[in-house]
Structure 1
Amino acid sequence: IRQYDMTHLSVVPTQLIQLLQDPACVRKLKTLTAILLGGAFSPVNLIQRAISLELPIYRTYGSTEMASQVTTTSRKDCRDGTHSAGRPLKYRQVKLSPEGEILVKGRTLLKGYVSEHGVIPAVDDAGFFATGDTGFFDNENHLYLTGRKDQMFISGGENIHPEEIEQAIGTIESVEQVVVVGVEDAHFGKRPIAFVKTGQGRTFDTGRAKEALQDRLERFKIPDDFLPWPREFGSLLKPARSKFQLYAAEWTRLKVPPEHF
């Protein structure tokens, strides 16, 4: 960033968190035309910090198959505190399946997946690609992401999307990163557990967190336990949920979750 005279930058949240720790990088970021933020869950605190630093931040949603942006917010959207991923860009079409899955179509969409047998089509009869992501539109055509179809789990007969819980936990001031996974439970089938990484010099209070989440989540969606971010995971650009799943299963079997960390 310091070396090259760039105008636009596309980052995932972890990268932006790291950049904001370097004052020289922050000064450079302020000179850019746009900073596109996407690829993973973006904590509200991170967005607010970027805005307070007067960075040209834009939230975005995309996929490799669409090469890659599909929707983007305006600067005003971010300043107003909207949690949407913005509106569809030019030459893109976005619609939802009856189950809420995001379907995309447009000039940038892939033709298919290359295999030893040729190109395997990746779209339906109408030319739409099923992303595997779920979401909804508001009345102003802003797209809101709710999660991944393959990450949803059922707890006591209720559908739980980890991303929804992560967004709620991300509003807690001390939280820098969070990943929620489901662990086996004899009574409910599965229950959510959250891994939390706090900002430098910050602490996390489990009791206060659960109390704060009562205004943001239905009771059954509030994690049973909050665990400290594993040191060996460091600052992952796009955390592999499967790794946290294994860690959670081992932790809950052997240890008592801390009240503070």
Structure 2
Amino acid sequence: MDTTIDAPAPLRPWIASYPEGIVWDTELDIRPVHEQVLAACAKNPSAIALDFLGGTTTFGELAQKIVALAGALQSQFGVTKGTRVALMLPNTPFYPIAYYAVLRAGGTVVNCNPLYTVHELAHITANAGADLMITLDLKQIFEKAEKLVEAGHVKSVIACHFPDALPVVKKVLFSIAKRKDLARLNASPIRDKITKLSDLLARRDTPTAVLIDADKDIAVQQYTGGTTGIPKGALLTHANIAANMSQIDKWGCGLFYPPSKVVAVLPFFHIFAMTVCMNVPLCNGTQVVMLPRFELKALLDLFTRTRPNVLPAVPTLLNAIARADSVTAEQLSSLEVAISGGAALPDEVRHAFAKKSKAILAEGYGLTEASPVVCCAALRVPSKPMSIGLPLPATDIRFVDIDTGQPVGVGENGELQVKGAQVMTGYYNDPEASANAFQDGWLRTGDVGHMDEDGYVFLVDRIKDLIISSGFNVYPRTIEEALMTHEAVEETNVIGVPDDYRGEAPVAFVKLQAGASITEEELKKFISERLNKIEMPKEIIFKDALPKTLIGKLSKKELREEYAATRGKS
């Protein structure tokens, strides 16, 4: 796909709004990410690269393990250019070791969410042709790998011994108290297909050189679209990944360099965390402090112990911090910047977070197909509220009419489309989907929004979430924002449902704050001052919990299924 940037300068009003020191027309560093991280390791080998629950890995140790595993991948498993290797790992030191080793060996990373079902994992591994999987020996995860091998989707498994990631005392305690949580590899039905990571690292194999064509060779095959259909493998080249890292690096104005510490509580297997929480800081020699999953107490303990200053997050995580009485300003005092991505950031969450932390809360925007970041609010100075910020350096965007595909004017809503070096080449073995993903060389995002006269970008909603009610466009986000202004509302999600009179009508699902109480009638009266009659929800349904995706984004898919099953057409 053509991703050259050819729009004339007058169509880039955002450039005039760039923070001082940032240049749009800049040269990007597209050296493969594994080369960059190994260079960072060589530059300061004694510095701490990774902190996992108090266990640390220096840059020198990281490089040693990356190189040793890359050599073993080549010599024992035949990994070379084009080989797909599946990683089914939560955030542990094993993930970056495996990720960079696969790339150093010439292979392509295929990320697999450990929380996916075996059926979902089977589709990804079979579609990608990933015969080799690297995973943990935690029983809950490893049993899925066993089933994939038994079904013939995966041929070989490299097992990482979870206690090896822990500091000495915790390792001993885990081995005593939680031994039952570990898979018994020697008794596994696939034991002849298992190789221990520790055995591979001990061999200290030296990998052979691999000549990478950054513009053509695929670094990551990232599956996306599972909530709307069969997941598709977005093909991200070494240049795509490195270009987006370079863009973020320049946007950060030094934020991602030592002595910064970046929190990695979002999972590395998700494209946002892979780029912002892992690749960018590690390639700059910056420490990454990890948690295997989000738990509020564990995150607060991490802040107290390591004093990090950069927190990439999703809105639900920020909301949990902002709403919790147990969280104090002192606990968050080291935080300088929180970057919100993955979903729209409600204004009420922004205000609530500001009461707990003086950090800049910058909303960003991206998608898997763009490696992923497209726009971001400034990270060093305040930005326009409710905006996803400005396009990153060397990134072009436009908005086009949803029906005609023609560009729209400033302030007019349309589909956001993107060009830039970070944009994928297409979807794996899916020419039809690849063609549909682009319009005249522009990546179609499926998101609706507009740009103001200063170049700031504002999103309204997803095209697929748009509700057509009585012929008018109704955006769920507008209703959600209105509901979130009520102090009793903790979370809300709005869907469109069939309606005999209006065609479609909005229905709101609401989770209340702990101890709060309000009736549907009272809440409707409250939002009636903020919404027009067409936007008013047909129904407000209160729930103890709202469904979320595996990275913590509120999910509409389950709500649509639930509503159809329990209420049907009305």
1:37 Cα deviation after fit: 0.9
Q: Is 1:45 the counterpart of 2:348 in the alignment? A: yes
TM-score calculated relative to the size of structure 2: 0.40
Q: How many equivalent pairs are there?
A: 248
2:383 match: 77
For 2:449 and 2:316, locate their aligned partners in 1 and report how far apart those are by CA, in whole Å.
Answer: 23
2:492 match: 178
8 Å Cα contact 1:45/1:173 also seen in 2: no
Give the letter for the 2:383 counterpart. Answer: D
Q: Is 1:168 the counterpart of 2:482 in the alignment? A: yes
2:563 match: 248
Within the candidate set 291, 307, 314, 1:12 is matched to: 314
1:59 match: 363
More divergent stretch after superposition (162-171 vs 136-145) = 162-171
Using a 3 Å threshold, how does the CA distance of structure 1 residues 6 and 106 change in structure 2: closer, same or farther? farther
Q: Is 1:239 the counterpart of 2:554 in the alignment? A: yes
1:89 Cα deviation after fit: 1.8
For 1:66 and 1:174, locate their aligned partners in 2 and report how far apart those are by CA, in whole Å.
Answer: 37
2:455 match: 141
For 2:457 and 2:338, locate their aligned partners in 1 and report how far apart those are by CA, in whole Å.
Answer: 19
Give the letter for the 1:240 counterpart. Answer: S
**Structure with a larger share of its residues in strand:** 1
For 2:367 and 2:502, locate their aligned partners in 1 and report how far apart those are by CA, in whole Å.
Answer: 34
8 Å Cα contact 1:19/1:25 also seen in 2: no
For 1:148 and 1:203, locate their aligned partners in 2 and report how far apart those are by CA, in whole Å.
Answer: 31
8 Å Cα contact 1:43/1:177 also seen in 2: no
Where structure 1 has 5 or more consecutive residues not aligned to the other structure, the ranges are: 254-261
**Structure with a larger share of its residues in helix:** 2
Where in structure 2 are the equivalents of 1:80-159 lying within 5 Å?
82-99=385-402, 100-115=414-429, 120=434, 122-125=437-440, 127-159=441-473
Using a 3 Å threshold, how does the CA distance of structure 1 residues 188 and 123 change in structure 2: closer, same or farther? closer
Give the letter for the 2:510 counterpart. Answer: V
Using a 3 Å threshold, how does the CA distance of structure 1 residues 165 and 24 change in structure 2: closer, same or farther? closer
Give the letter for the 1:149 counterpart. Answer: I
Post-superposition CA distance 1:8-56 (Å, at most 9, x none): 2221111222334374686454312311112123222211011122233
Compute the RMSD of aligned alpha carbons: 2.7
1:200 match: 514
Give the letter for the 1:77 counterpart. Answer: S
For 2:318 and 2:462, locate their aligned partners in 1 and report how far apart those are by CA, in whole Å.
Answer: 23
Give the letter for the 2:438 counterpart. Answer: V
For 1:102 and 1:235, locate their aligned partners in 2 and report how far apart those are by CA, in whole Å.
Answer: 23
For 1:49 and 1:201, locate their aligned partners in 2 and report how far apart those are by CA, in whole Å.
Answer: 18
Secondary structure of 1:50 counterpart: helix
1:216 Cα deviation after fit: 2.2
Give the letter for the 1:229 counterpart. Answer: K
For 2:328 and 2:372, locate their aligned partners in 1 and report how far apart those are by CA, in whole Å.
Answer: 25
For 1:95 and 1:228, locate their aligned partners in 2 and report how far apart those are by CA, in whole Å.
Answer: 38
Within the candidate set 525, 529, 534, 1:211 is matched to: 525
Using a 3 Å threshold, how does the CA distance of structure 1 residues 116 and 131 change in structure 2: closer, same or farther? closer
Which structure would you say has the larger Rg?
Answer: 2
8 Å Cα contact 1:94/1:103 also seen in 2: yes
Identity, % of aligned positions: 27
Give the letter for the 1:210 counterpart. Answer: K
8 Å Cα contact 1:46/1:176 also seen in 2: no
TM-score calculated relative to the size of structure 1: 0.83
For 2:400 and 2:558, locate their aligned partners in 1 and report how far apart those are by CA, in whole Å.
Answer: 30
Post-superposition CA distance 1:50-97 (Å, at most 9, x none): 11222331111111222222222245236xxx2121121212111101
Give the letter for the 2:315 counterpart. Answer: P
Secondary structure of 1:191 counterpart: strand
For 1:120 and 1:223, locate their aligned partners in 2 and report how far apart those are by CA, in whole Å.
Answer: 36
For 1:250 and 1:194, locate their aligned partners in 2 and report how far apart those are by CA, in whole Å.
Answer: 16
8 Å Cα contact 1:101/1:133 also seen in 2: yes
8 Å Cα contact 1:194/1:227 also seen in 2: yes
More divergent stretch after superposition (178-187 vs 225-234) = 225-234
Using a 3 Å threshold, how does the CA distance of structure 1 residues 234 and 95 change in structure 2: closer, same or farther? closer
For 1:73 and 1:84, locate their aligned partners in 2 and report how far apart those are by CA, in whole Å.
Answer: 7
Secondary structure of 2:468 counterpart: strand
For 1:230 and 1:182, locate their aligned partners in 2 and report how far apart those are by CA, in whole Å.
Answer: 21
8 Å Cα contact 2:495/2:508 also seen in 1: yes
Using a 3 Å threshold, how does the CA distance of structure 1 residues 26 and 114 change in structure 2: closer, same or farther? farther
Secondary structure of 2:505 counterpart: strand
